[in-house]
Amino acid sequence: MPYFSYRAVDQIGRTNRGSLSAANEVDLELRLRRMGLDLITLRQMDSRASGFARGAASRRDLITFCFHLEQISRAGIPILDGVRDLRDSMDNPRFRDILTALLEDMEGGRLMSQALAAHPAVFDTVIVNLVRAGEQTGLMREVFENLGASLKRQDELAAQTRRLLIYPTLVLSMVGIIILLLLLFLVPQIADLIKNMGIALPIQTRVLLWLSETLRTWWPLFLILPVAIGSALVVTLRASERARFVADDVKLRLPVIGPILQKIALARFSNFFALMYRSGITILDALRAGEDIAANRVIADAIRRAGGRIGNGEGLTESFQSLSVFPPLVIRMLRVGETTGALDTALENVSYFYTREVSESIEKSLKILEPALTVVLGLVMAVIVGSVLLPMYDVIGTLKP
């Protein structure tokens, strides 16, 4: 079903803009009328992956969606009424349009899982598969409860990861700006004085003067080159699947950050794999959905190969054990779960362990980074100031009687 961007007015004359799926222009007008809006202008969008779908809902919106539908299911209220109430109270206008499309599809006779599957950029395969399993088993409340809890844990992990990355990025950026200001403005003012002293300059002072002169002479190149390299990397990553695979592999090999990213990916995979397995989804279907959950192409490729081995008749533990991506803890818990028949519980233990370890690792890294970055900043300033002042001290020493 195509998507349309529209401009409409409500009953009191306020203008509303948004995007909505509809069979045609007449269907769009009817859908807007049910929302209490009168259509003014419309434009058909190129594809579902356009601006409507991309970024239409944050993780917080999805958490609210799951929590609301869990409460609706717990209270025995029909899902349709629950989606309608959520749509009317939703602040995000783009997600409100998504909910409107869901409501229209469900009122038209489609199952909720089918309506969700029509918006893959918002509701991924895991959500669709879990809702489908809930429809088949009658456990919709449990599905939304577990899914909401899982999304909350993922949101906490994402917040902790941002903390780990943002702080050093800000500090290093400040260090870089300070160094640039010193090289561009302070060092040139003192350079002529140092050169006119007629003394042999130490190596660190000559290097500092060379850096300052080079930066002042070729500053357009230093300004354009990082932008050009960054743009080339972005274009390459967008155009080449192989480049994205290599980039994800490099992320996992980074010191300090790499192991944390690997644990986050494995915690996500274990958590949702356990959730899907408990909901009655087959192992192969859960693994196929887990490829997207991992959010890392190296781990996703390993999951895909493990699924292929399982499809060829190999055991679950043996399939994962043959791949170096999965650490011994994951293999041991898979073996325990496969032996006892409680695979979901074993995977939840993996998710819990890695989630806790990620939290502790991030806290420790932040505690180490703060003094480490302070020391680095102090050393850089000491080298620059020392390179400038050392020749002056030498001259002052020669002037003493």
The string of pLDDT tens digits covering residues 67-111 is: 998 888 888 888 888 888 888 888 887 788 788 888 888 887 888
**Phi, psi (rounded to 5 degrees) for 162:** -60, -40
Higher pLDDT, 352 or 295: 352
**CA separation for the pair 310, 174 (Å, rounded):** 51
In this prediction, residue 195 has a pLDDT band, given cuts at 50, 70 and 90, of: low
Residue 176 corresponds to which tokens in the numbers above?
Answer: 């870089």
Region of 280 (left: φ > 0; alpha: ψ -120 to 50; beta: rest) is left
Compute the distance between CA of residue 43 and CA of residue 6 in angstroms, rounded to an integer. Answer: 6
Q: Is the pTM of this model over 0.85?
A: no
Task: Check whether 49 has a pLDDT greater than 70.
Answer: no
Task: Tell me how far the alpha carbon of residue 306 is from its chain's centroid.
Answer: 25
The predicted structure's pLDDT at residue 48: 43
Confidence category of residue 397, pLDDT binned at 50, 70, 90 = low
Give the separation between CA 20 and CA 6, rounded to whole angstroms.
8
Rounded Cα distance, 175 and 164, in Å: 18
Q: Which residues are within 8 A (CB) of 324 and not within 5 positions of it... i.e. 6 or more apart?
A: none
Q: Residue 253 pLDDT > 80, yes or no?
A: yes
Does 59-151 match 154-401 in CATH topology?
A: yes
Q: Supply the pLDDT for residue 398.
A: 59
How many Å apart are CA 312 and CA 149, to the nearest integer? 34
Residue 292 has pLDDT above 80, yes or no: no
Q: Which helix (H) or strand (E) holds 214?
A: helix 203-217
CATH architecture of 154-401: Up-down Bundle (1.20)
Better-predicted residue by pLDDT, 163 or 401: 163
Q: Identify the bridge partners of residue 41 per DSSP, sorted by sequence position.
A: 7
Of 42-46, 59-63, 110-114, 124-128, least confident by mean pLDDT is: 42-46
CA–CA distance, 137 with 129 (Å, rounded to integer): 12
Which pLDDT value is given to residue 194? 67
Asked whether residue 191 carries a pLDDT value surpassing 80, the answer given is no
Domain boundaries, the chain: 3-44, 59-151, 154-401
Confidence class for position 399, pLDDT limits 50, 70, 90: low
Confidence of residue 115 (pLDDT cuts 50, 70, 90): confident
Residue 50 has a pLDDT of 44
CATH topology of domain 59-151: Receptor-associated Protein (1.20.81)
Mean pLDDT across the stretch 10-22? Answer: 75
Q: Would you tell me the crossing angle of helices 125-137 and 140-181 to the nearest 10 degrees? A: 170
